[in-house]
Amino acid sequence: MAKADGGQGTSQIRGPEGPVVRLLVAGDLFVPRPVPGAPPPWQDLIPLIEAHDIAVVNVECALSASLQRIVKEGPAMVAPASLAHVARAGGFTVASLANNHVLDAGFEGLLDTMNACEGAGLTTVGAGATLEEARRPLILESPAGTLAILARAEREFSIAGRRSPGAAPLDPWETVSAVIRARREADLVVVLVHGGNEMVPLPRPGLVAACRAIVDAGADTVVCHHSHVPGPWEVYRGAPVVYGTGNLLFPVETPQSRGWYEGYLVSLELDGRGAVAVRVLPYVQDVSPPEVRLLTPEDASGFLARIDASSSVLAEDGRLEQAWIAQCRELRPHLLSMLLDLSRFERGLLRLGIWPSWRHRRRSLPALYDLIACESHREAAEAVLAQESRLGLVGRDSATTRGKRTS
């Protein structure tokens, strides 16, 4: 069973045995209009970042001047190539590209992104010109031995095809096999997962099971991002598992909830046998002008107490499932309105407890549940919907994605 941290953001797992590598992982980075020549907006964090041997950031956008936009649900995140130089100047050495926005500017935009990172001195992982290339681990030499970094993303609108660019998918069978193979080739294995439910702090039970399976397969640590709010973390079988770093810097015009503006860096120490210690370093972001700064000791204490409280949910059998069900009740109007294609007026009635029987009878819900819950039915539905909506995400090895920006 997993053991949750109870020490205000720090866990000394064991004493080091031999040389140690210091690894830092940061969350989602997107700045639509970085100021050329200006210092990185996270000046306060740079000394902490540069104190590590390897520093990874998730670049949550395409870095391209291309006007192409894929057909998708949600906004297209595209920034100038100069953001890669800002990330490098801000102390980061590796860019994770396994996320749901890296393909927003199409195939050309992804290749532009990889070239921009290379030109800025950032090594990339998690995306590539083909599925095989996207899945390839990044192998680095470190004081503690050879380190393999794998990056995977939940399947949304960015996944690579057999012969087409994109991100490496979080496939439960392939990812575990990839960890086992990396374990044979490297002394240490780190897995980055872009997954979870946006704006929901607690991880879904399936994501927890997947991350623990990755540790069981041989990973020394797993770090998740994507939810845009900070989540809990645990030490499972001696391996730190983080379920949501929050944003590093993600300025948007529409005001968001408090969690959007909070996050933490994950600082790891590993020796040749695995994780030695983990520490979370909390910060807050301002949007106008974009800036990231460390929390004051008083604010950090309150933040870490909240993270510790949510982390304790992971340590007790049944508590996560109960908390997850409670969170899903809050998501009920949003999810049902999407599934049933409700208008804004109908969505309001649903919130008031009025079921839209004129749109969808309750007795047909078991069939809808089966379509979503059954893996075989769901995969068939995904293929049909992708074709009907011209997403080009199924059988697209020789196709191109095209379309206008969506919101």
CA dihedral 180, 181, 187, 193 (to 10 degrees): -70
Q: Which of 82, 96, 88 is nearest to 42 (CA)?
A: 88
Nearest alpha carbon to residue 168 among 141, 200, 130: 130
Specify the pLDDT at position 8: 64
Please state the pTM of the whole predicted model. 0.92
Q: Are residues 156 and 45 located together in one domain of the fold?
A: yes
| 337 and 224 fall within a common domain | no
Same domain, 91 and 203: yes
- The answer to whether residue 206 sits within a structural domain is yes
| Same domain flag for 257 and 363 | no
Q: Is residue 310 domain-shared with residue 341, that is, in the same domain?
A: no
CB under 8 Å to 332, separation ≥6 — which residues? Answer: none
3-state helix, strand, coil in the chain (%, to 5): 35, 25, 40
Domain finish residue from 297, 316, 335: 316
Is residue 406 included in any domain, yes or no?
no
254 in the same domain as 372: no
CA separation, residue 359 to residues 21, 125, 326, 342, 356 (Å): 58, 45, 26, 8, 5
Do both 85 and 233 map to the same domain?
yes
Instruction: Judge whether 234 lies within some domain.
Output: yes
- ∠ Cα 390 396 397 (to 5°): 165
Q: Can you give the residue range of the structural domain that contains 60?
A: 3-316
Measured distance CA(208)–CA(238) in Å, rounded: 15
Specify whether 258 is located in the same domain as 288: yes
**Does residue 397 sit within a domain?**
no
Low-confidence stretches of the chain (pLDDT beneath 50) = 1-6, 393-407
On whether residue 9 sits in a domain, the answer given is yes
Query: Facing residues of 193 across strands?
Result: 152, 224
| Last residue within a domain, chosen from 316, 347, 365 | 316
* Domain-ending residue, one of 316, 344, 360: 316
Residue 260 φ/ψ region, left for φ over 0, alpha for ψ in the -120 to 50 degree band, beta for the rest:
alpha
Residues 194-239 have pLDDT tens digits of: 999 999 999 999 999 999 999 999 999 999 999 999 999 999 999 9
Over the range 126-158, which residues count as b (16 or more CB within 10 Å of their CB) and which as e?
bbbbbbeebbebbebebebbebbbbbbbbebbb
Q: Determine the pLDDT at residue 221.
A: 98
pLDDT value of residue 391: 66
Whether residue 396 lies inside any domain: the answer is no
- The answer to whether residues 141 and 233 belong to one domain is yes
- Domain for residue 398, yes or no? no
On whether residue 41 sits in a domain, the answer given is yes
Alpha helices (runs of H) in 105-159, residue ranges in sequence order: 106-120, 131-135
> How confident is the model at residue 405, as a pLDDT?
32
In CATH, what number is assigned to the domain containing residue 58?
3.60.21.10
Residues 127 and 106 in one domain: yes
Instruction: Looking at the structure, tell me whether residues 343 and 200 fall in a common domain.
Output: no
- Give the DSSP letter string of 176-237: HHHHHHHHHH-SEEEEEEE-S-TT-SSPPHHHHHHHHHHHHTT-SEEEEE-SSSB--EEEET
Q: Identify the residue whose tokens are 């992804």.
A: 110
* Whether 170 and 75 share a structural domain: yes
Q: What is the pLDDT of residue 340?
A: 93
Q: How many separate domains does the chain show?
A: 2
**CA dist list (Å): 28 to 168, 262, 298:** 17, 12, 25
